[in-house]
Amino acid sequence: MNAATTEEHLQLVEAAPAPTRPPALQQTGAVAAQQTPRDLLALAVHQGAAVETLERLWALHVQFEDREAKKACVESMAAFKAEPITIFKRKQVGYETRDGDWVGYSHAELSDVTEAVVPAMAKHGLSHRWDVVQQNGRIVVTCIVTHKAGHSMQVTMDAAPDNSGKKNAIQQTASTVTYLQRYTLLAVTGMSTSGMDDDGNSAGNGEGAGNPPAPPPPPAAPEAYSAEQFTKNLPDWTSWIEDGRRTPDALIKVVETRGKPMTEEQKAQLRRITKKA
C-alpha cells in the first residue's frame, strides 16, 4: 500500500460514524434502571422481539401499572382522611321498650354521610358507587371506591328486608338498601359518625359531640276509667239507656271528654244495654 492509499484509508476511517450503543434492552446500570416496563415494551416492539419476550414484558408492564395505581390510591386515601370531615346526625329516633323505658337517640342518614364524605373524596381523585343485588331473601350491597388511577377498594354487607313498622314490600327493601349503603360507604372509607350508633339496638341514646339531643319521651297515656267508678255508675247509666235518655255511645263520649278513657270491655258492656220497647 503506497502513501497516498494509506492516507485515503485513514480519512475514510475518521469520517465513518461512531458505532451506536446497544439499544436500551441491552443497557445496564442507571440508564436501564430509569426505564419503565412501558419503555422496555415499546423498544422491544421496535426491535421486533419474539412474541414470548413481548408477553413477558406486557405482564411486567401490567404488574407495574397495578402497583403504581395502588400506591397512588393509598396516598389519596391518606390525604382524604386528613380532611376535617364532620358527619352530623340529623335523624332523631325514639321508642318505648317492653319494660316501659324510653330510648331516644340520633343517627346520621345516608344524605348526611354523602354530603360530608363525597366532596372530600372527589378532591383527592376518589369516587364511589354501589352494586345492589337480592339473593336468597337477602339484600346485598357493595360499595366500591375507585381512584382516578384505576385502583379500587370495596366492602360488602347484606341484610334481610326491614319489616319493622307498617312498610310495604318496596319500602322494606328500600329501607335496608339505604341502611347498607350508608354503612358500606363508612366502612370502605374508614369513616365513622361521632358516638357510632346502631340505629336503635343500643341501650344508650347515641348522642355525640355536635349532635342534637335525643327527643323527649312522649306524654304518659291518660289513666283509664276505673273499674270501681264504672261499677258505681252502671245502675244509673243502665236506667238512662233503657229509658232512652242516653245512648251508650253518648255516655262513653261524655266520660272520655273528661280525660278518663274507658276500656274496650267497659264500652262493650254499655253497648249491650238496649232501650226498652
111-149 pLDDT tens trace: 888 888 889 899 999 999 999 999 888 999 999 999 998
Query: Residue 275 has what DSSP assignment?
Result: -
Q: What is the CATH number of the domain that holds 129?
A: 3.30.160.40
Residue 99, in any domain of the structure: no
Query: Pseudo-torsion of CA 30, 33, 35, 37, nearest 10°?
Result: 170
The pLDDT of residue 212 is 44
More confident residue, 24 or 242: 242
Domain boundary among 189, 214, 235: 189
Q: Is the pLDDT of residue 220 over 60?
A: no
Residue 106, in any domain of the structure: no
Say whether both 127 and 71 belong to one domain. no
Query: Residue 2 has what DSSP assignment?
Result: -
Residue 61, domain extent = 20-78
* Number of domains the chain is built from: 3
Q: Where are the alpha helices (DSSP H) in 152-247?
A: 169-189, 227-243
Residue 214, in any domain of the structure: no
* Owner of C-alpha cell 502513501: 3
Report residue 106's pLDDT band, with 50, 70 and 90 as the boundaries.
low
Mean pLDDT of the chain: 76
Within 10 Å of residue 176's Cβ, how many Cβ atoms? 23
Within 10 Å of residue 73's Cβ, how many Cβ atoms? 22
Q: How much is the pTM?
A: 0.51
Choose from 1-15, 83-97, 140-154, 216-230 the range with maximum mean pLDDT: 140-154
Domain boundary among 139, 163, 189: 189
Query: Residue 17 has what DSSP assignment?
Result: P
Burial class (CB in 10 A: 0-12, 13-18, 19+), 72: middle
